[in-house]
């Protein structure tokens, strides 16, 4: 079987903190093929067709009019993600329906952009899967996501980094902000550990 007929490989799910994710808003395709993946351009110079996030589900609401359409609010140390799941994401929708906030959750999903009436861009996640996790898993995600964020910021000035060049054109954002956010996220873990130790 030739490669062209093969099922397209699933895109790697990028780890990204809420602060950077919410600053993004520019999407693009790498080819004209209608089935080509749509990428969200992360301000630190990486493309994301799928994202992997872990945080605390703080609230959920069925915002659907005719059918169930769940909105979940997921908080990480840097900000808030919004996830939306309806009839086309049945597993994720039923997970949101059954979960009782607050709960630690791991989510893999696709970034979605939406233009507001004011002309701004809101970014949310359409979840493929939602799993309940423990605090240790959440902490590992924070550590790993901080590492990946710092790597992207370090590589931002590389001449050959086409997505960083694109990010410089599309966003006028100081990438050092994400370095600071990553450091603050790691510090928040140390504080939580201290609280747990003293409890």
Read off the pLDDT of residues 163-180 as tens digits, 9 standing for 90 and up.
999 999 999 899 999 999
CATH class of 8-192: mainly beta
Mean pLDDT for the stretch of residues 146-170: 97
What percent of the chain stands above pLDDT 70?
A: 93
pLDDT of residue 2: 42
Q: Nearest CA to 89 among 69, 103, 74?
A: 69
Mean pLDDT for the stretch of residues 52-64: 97
Residue 133 pLDDT class (50, 70, 90 cuts):
very high
CB 29 within 8 A of CB 38: yes
pLDDT at 9 over 90: no
State the CB neighbour count (10 A cutoff) for residue 93: 23
Read off the pLDDT of residues 83-93 as tens digits, 9 standing for 90 and up.
999 999 999 99
pLDDT of residue 4: 47
Q: Nearest CA to 46 among 32, 59, 28?
A: 28
Name residue 106's beta-bridge partners: 54, 131
Residue 1 pLDDT class (50, 70, 90 cuts):
very low
Residue 7 pLDDT class (50, 70, 90 cuts):
low
CA distances from 183 to 17, 176, 188 (A): 12, 11, 9
């Amino acid at each position: 079987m030739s490669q062209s007929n093969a099922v397209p490989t699933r895109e790697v799910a990028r780890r990204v903190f809420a602060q950077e994710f919410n600053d993004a808003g520019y999407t693009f395709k790498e080819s004209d093929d209608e089935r080509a993946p749509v990428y969200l351009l992360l301000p630190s110079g990486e493309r994301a067709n799928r994202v992997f996030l872990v945080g605390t589900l703080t609230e959920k609401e069925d915002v659907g009019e005719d059918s169930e359409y769940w909105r979940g609010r997921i908080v990480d140390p840097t900000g808030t993600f919004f996830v939306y799941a309806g009839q086309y994401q049945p597993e994720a929708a039923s997970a949101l329906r059954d979960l009782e906030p607050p709960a630690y959750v791991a989510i893999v999903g696709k970034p979605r952009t939406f233009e507001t009436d004011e002309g701004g861009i809101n970014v949310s996640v359409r979840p493929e899967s939602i799993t309940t996790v423990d605090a240790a898993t959440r902490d590992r995600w924070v550590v790993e996501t901080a590492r990946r964020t710092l790597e992207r910021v370090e590589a931002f000035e590389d001449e050959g980094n086409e997505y960083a060049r694109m990010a410089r054109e599309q966003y006028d954002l100081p990438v050092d902000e994400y370095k600071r956010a990553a450091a603050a996220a790691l510090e928040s873990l140390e504080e939580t550990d201290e609280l747990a130790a003293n409890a």
